[in-house]
Structure 1
Amino acid sequence: MHELAPLAHALAGYTPRRLRFRRRLKRAAVAVILRESRQGVDVLLAVRAQREGDPWSGDMAFPGGRVDGVDEASASRAACRETAEEVGLTIGRDDGIGRLNDRLTLDHRRRAPMVVSPFVYRLAHPDEPVLNHEIAATRWLALAWLDEPSNRQTMHWPIGHVRIPMPCYHCGDGQRLWGLTLAMLDELRTLTR
């Protein structure tokens, strides 16, 4: 079972990889929001709303979005702003307990590289999420559930005529956890092993 205090301590001593060229590319930031529960540490996941043309519709992800001018080039500020917009939770610098590795991905709107920076926050207050149109639902998932090998499965992601096997979790109700979100959670979970 994961506990928040050792995880926060591990994050305090962790040096995440920050891509040097991140400020020259399009950027996004996500908020990995943790809380303590009877199962140990839970993480907040947002279920993306169904949208035509969005290959990730219905998938689980962290709240977050693009870093833009209003964020004054602060990716952590963007993660906080997007969290408030998407799920109605207020988090700030004082709630931050660390960050994870920058991830290079593809901005599918422009077919260009994009850097995603994940920031980890502790949610001390028990507020309930208030969702906007981008989010269909939220779910608190115990990190301990992700530790069970029997819960981890494989899906096949189509790229052209090829189907690439990818690790995933099927979380019920058609909700699927995979890709960048899963890679970030795997990184977080390894910090306390």
Structure 2
Amino acid sequence: MHELAPIARTLADYRARRLRFRRYLKRAAVAVILRDSGQGAQVLLALRAHREGDPWSGDMAFPGGRVDAADEASASRAACRETQEEVGLRITREHGIGRLNDRLTLDHRRRAPMVVSPFVYRLEQRITPVLNHEIAATRWLSLAWLNEPVNRQTMRWRVGRASLPMPCYDCGDGQRLWGLTLAMLDELCGLVR
């Protein structure tokens, strides 16, 4: 079982890779929110609402979004702000227990590179999320469940005419966890094994 206290200790010693050129690219940040439960540590995932023009519609993801002027170029501030806007959870840097590696991805709006920075937070109290229009639902997944190889599957991802096999988790009700969010969770689970 994955307990939150040893995860926090591991993250305190972990030196995540920060892409040096990130300040020259568009940036986004996500909040990887953990809590203790009877099944060990759980992570909060948000089901993105179906919206026209949103390339992440229907995906399971972490709360988060673009770093904008209001964040004063601070990715961790952006993660906190976006979390409050999307799921109604007020987190601050004081709730932070670490960060994961920066990820280089594609800004779908401009077809240009973008850096996503994941920050890990600890949620102490039970809070009922209050969702905005960008989020259809939330769910807590056990890190232990994610570490069971039998739960890992493969899906087909269509890119133009190509169909690529991609690792995923079927979370039920047609909800799949895959892509960048899965890569971040794999990094987290790899650290705490």
SS of 1:191's partner is: helix
Paired AA for residue 87 in structure 2: V
Secondary structure (helix, strand or coil) at the match of 2:81 reads: helix
Q: Secondary structure at the match of 1:78?
A: helix
Runs of 5+ in structure 2 lacking a partner? none
Report the equivalent of 1:73.
73
Query: C-alpha distance in 1, partners of 2:61/2:137?
Result: 11
Deviations 1:41-97 (A, max 9, x none): 000000000112334321100000000000001000000000000000000011000
SS of match in other structure, 2:20: coil
Q: Could you tell me how far apart the structure 1 residues matched to 2:17 and 2:55 are?
A: 28
Measured in 1, the distance between the counterparts of 2:176 and 2:56 equals 10
Answer yes or no: is 1:96 the counterpart of 2:96.
yes
What pairs up with 1:12-161 in 2 under 5 angstroms? 12-161=12-161
C-alpha distance in structure 2 between counterparts of 1:86 and 1:121, whole Å: 16
Structure 2 residue identity aligned to 1:129? P
| Alignment: residue pair count | 193
Normalising by structure 2, report the TM-score: 0.98
Q: CA deviation at 1:125?
A: 1.7
Residues 131-152 of structure 1 show CA distances to partners (whole Å, capped at 9, x for unaligned) of 0000000000101111111110
Cα distance in 1 for partners of 2:174, 2:158 equals 18
Task: For 1:156, give the aligned amino acid.
Answer: R
Report the Cα distance in structure 2 between the residues aligned to 1:13 and 1:33, rounded to whole angstroms: 18
- Mapped to 2, the partners of 1:62 and 1:90 lie a distance apart of 15
Query: In the alignment, what sits opposite 1:8?
Result: 8
CA distance in 1, matches of 2:163, 2:89: 37
Task: Tell me if the contact between 2:55 and 2:108 (Cα under 8 Å) persists in the aligned partners.
Answer: no
Equivalent residue, structure 1, for 2:176: 176
Letter in 2 for 1:26: K
CA distance in 2, matches of 1:11, 1:62: 18
Change (3 A) 1:72 1:183: same
The runs of at least 4 aligned residues of structure 1 exceeding 6 Å deviation read none
Match for residue 163 of structure 1? 163
How large is the Cα RMSD of the aligned pairs? 0.8
The percent of aligned pairs where both chains have the same amino acid is 80
- Residue type at the aligned position of 2:48: R
